[in-house]
């Protein structure tokens, strides 16, 4: 979809579209336009300026532009970020990489969540797919609401509980507070889910680690941190977020006048 213009006289939208396969452009009209285009700009990830980036001799990848032929097997990987992308990539890459380091400026709340929903499965088995799914959906919404309101109402207790769960998943003596204790309360920002605790498993197995620090500069062999520590890397993944984009970036006009959504700021993904 390229643009949508509303005419009050005709009470209709005129929508310009371009076919992805042929590039052919056409016009459609409708009285109701539903724009299910998400909230991120997918063709361009957010990448902050990193000092010395051009010196790095390895590969730098943004998750939005993942090279089909990227082979990270046996390589030292540094993933910059602590949002959902970094938390998902760490265990996925740790399987074959020599080592994966998640380099974060600020920790996120990360909770292990079982991939297997026993109650949902039992409901579907007893009530059939359709009714079981409907009930499981209600259960999940209620559960999510409960967790969210508990965190907002009792932030200290929620923080202690998350820390306790994290500590149980991590090796003995692990610096939990340094890497898994954010400066903000649970659900001030989104809480990340680790399916079956995959991130913690990778850390326990020694296949991955978390470093909380700031990048001073890229070097030929990796990154130097503000603490002075150096992280060697063959591949650096900049999981530094996406830019928010309303209405899929299309041009919107109402009675010939362009409507410009507010300019958004980058968010962590
Ligand atoms: C790394 C990451 C991890 C996430 N993890 C979770 C999670 O664990 N749990 C969870 O609930 N949510 C998660 N989310 C959020 C979740 O993905 C989004 O909330 C959800 O995808 C939004 O759905 P949507 O249908 O509104 O938009 P999207 O899934 O973003 O779909 C929008 C579609 O519109 C298309 N489009 C955009 N612009 C145009 C245009 N101009 N013309 C035509 N087509 C266009 C896009 O190509 C895309 O296909 C995650 C997001 C990210 C990035």
CB count in 10 Å sphere of residue 257:
9
How far, CA to CA in Å, does 19 sit from each of 1, 24, 25, 31, 252? 9, 5, 6, 21, 19
Q: How far, in Å, from the CA of 66 to the mean position of ligand 1?
A: 17
Query: How would residue 44 be classed by pLDDT, with cut points 50, 70 and 90?
Result: confident
Mean pLDDT of 112-123: 95
Q: Is 3 a pocket residue for ligand 1 (Cβ < 6 Å)?
A: no
Non-local (6+) Cβ contacts of 11 within 8 A are 31
Q: Is 37 a pocket residue for ligand 1 (Cβ < 6 Å)?
A: yes
* Residue range 191-232, pLDDT digits in tens: 999 999 999 999 999 999 999 999 999 999 999 999 999 999
Full-model pTM: 0.86
Distance CA 44, CA 65 (A): 8
Mean pLDDT of 179-194: 96
Mean pLDDT of 224-250: 95
* Residue range 50-103, pLDDT digits in tens: 999 999 999 999 999 999 999 999 999 999 999 999 999 999 999 999 999 999
Ligand 1 pocket test target in 25, 38, 143, 250 with most atoms within 8 Å of CB: 38
Non-local (6+) Cβ contacts of 138 within 8 A are none
Query: Does residue 267 carry a pLDDT above 80?
Result: no
Angle at 101 between CA 100 and CA 103, to 5 degrees: 150
Distance CA 208, CA 77 (A): 9
User: Torsion angle, CA of 152/156/160/162, rounded to 10 degrees?
Assistant: 20
Q: How far, in Å, from the CA of 38 to the mean position of ligand 1?
A: 5
Q: Is 74 a pocket residue for ligand 1 (Cβ < 6 Å)?
A: no
Check: CB of residue 89 under 8 Å from CB of residue 239. yes
Predicted confidence at residue 201, as pLDDT, reads 98
Predicted confidence at residue 265, as pLDDT, reads 62
């Amino acid at each position: 979809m390229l643009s949508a213009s509303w005419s009050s006289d005709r009470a209709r939208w005129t929508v310009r579209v371009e076919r992805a396969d042929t590039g052919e452009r056409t016009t459609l009209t409708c009285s109701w336009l539903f724009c299910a285009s998400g909230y991120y700009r997918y063709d361009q990830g957010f990448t902050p300026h990193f000092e010395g980036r051009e010196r790095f001799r390895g590969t730098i990848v943004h998750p939005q532009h993942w090279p089909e032929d990227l082979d990270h097997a046996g390589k030292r990987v540094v993933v910059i970020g602590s949002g959902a992308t970094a938390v998902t990539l760490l265990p996925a890459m740790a399987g074959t990489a020599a080592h994966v380091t998640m380099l974060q400026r600020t920790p996120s709340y990360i909770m292990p969540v079982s991939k297997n929903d026993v109650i949902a499965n039992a409901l579907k088995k007893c009530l059939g797919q359709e009714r079981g799914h409907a009930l499981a959906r209600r259960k999940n919404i209620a559960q999510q609401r409960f967790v969210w309101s508990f965190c907002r109402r009792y932030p200290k207790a929620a923080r202690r509980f998350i820390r306790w769960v994290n500590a149980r998943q991590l090796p003995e003596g692990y610096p939990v507070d340094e890497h898994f204790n954010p400066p903000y309360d649970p659900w001030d920002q989104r809480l990340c889910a680790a399916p079956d605790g995959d991130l913690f498993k990778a850390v326990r197995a020694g296949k991955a680690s978390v470093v909380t620090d700031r990048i001073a500069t890229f070097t030929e062999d990796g990154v130097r941190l503000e603490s002075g520590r150096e992280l060697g890397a063959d591949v650096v993944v900049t999981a530094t977020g996406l830019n928010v984009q309303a209405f899929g970036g299309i041009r919107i006009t109402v009675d010939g006048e362009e409507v410009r959504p507010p300019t958004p700021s980058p968010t962590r993904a």
